[in-house]
Structure 1
């Protein structure tokens, strides 16, 4: 039996683990198939406070993990396939490890960026392929960039990237865009934005030093061509990692966990959510870490309140 289990080891989960461990809560942290979260797929992180010269994403996550371990957090590698949140203690089924029971649960399983799933895409993440303009745009100052997508996120990222790039080309597989009119108008009015609509990306082209182009197929003519670029930003949305919850936690229509405003509390007492799994707006390492702190403090207060309640019940028997 555990006091608290933390699911996920991105900035939110590790921050929660640090706070919980320092409060002598002895958290068990379960790592999924991507320990460290999305930051392990990036190179240099320059916008996390405290590192004036920047820090590599994997190194930042490893430092956070060591800090949590120093205070007593324990880690297990596994994949939670099913949960029972109908009663306390909560029960988690972990692939290859059986069942784990816990008095409280912090969900920080993040959100995965949707990928194009074309050749050479995943192999070049961090070598010119990115899913975060805010994180990586600075590294493409004065260079040509491609943004793939047709929604509001793609328009927003394209406009943002024009602060750095010499040219931003928007590639979308349809002639029509899904983005709202105001977001389309902003992109179309930006002189640095060019368009390749009705073109389907079919392959990332890369050399020894990273991305050099994106091969696309024109949907009308069937003609293929390589669009030269220094970077490709995939902006086709994110998928929150909440399927394993089986609908027991309230989410929005996309799957992001809903929390009570100003807290990390979910609709199930004793279950808290932090990081990108409940944040579809900011999705930054620093905001994730901040929400991890909130979840740990909310969880600590909840467990202390539960302990007082259980003790008073025992005295009254």
Structure 2
């Protein structure tokens, strides 16, 4: 009876399922079908033999990565950069959304939103190119200002100490406005009568933010935090590679750039697949762990 009931529901709402079908097919083709390539992490992969015909090496590549002198440096660089980015890029969109929600003039609000959203649509290559121009030691405006104020020229892109700051603050500038969209949407669904009642009771704007706005969007914040922590080991590969130089390599070499170098540039496909699989497993463990912790202490969770 349950199976018949499910079939009847599908027949009744077949239009909705047809709309869902293209996205479902894309998900299967581009996300699940390529998973057979995980086998490369356990093989001495060869293009001519393919995944099914390549020689099986088991956990050899994992042992090789764990025993490499770069292992702990890459783990440290990846985690420190991810945590630094999370600390800044996660709360700022929430603050921005709360501030924009307090604007009463609709034209002003839309103008500010457009200005803040615009950097998101700049490609990573263009963004890094802008950083090279602005931070150039010879002609960059930042160094010209520093020299004019009596300071010395700073080689930002060559100094390992500046790499993480440049990476994270450029991400803040580029992504904060766009990341605030989901919180602005959540704030727009709050019943205006709650604010009207709070105003009648003499609540200030700050009090209304604390007692109405924040509790209302808390489930969205929790879900976003779980996803962010579950994606902690995935640092933006393109920007890290483009900002990387031989002089800042000590801080800029992360797992993603290492996988690119050994996999694409050196052709060690099995080894790079093993490193990538290790990174993915850590992310899955983090996602499940954080979700379970949140589930125990609140009613909001991914599952």
Name the one with the larger helix percent: 2
TM-score, scaled to structure 2: 0.24
Name the one with the larger strand percent: 1
- Higher Rg: 2
TM-score, scaled to structure 1: 0.23
Structure scoring higher RCO (CA < 8 A, sep ≥ 6) equals 2
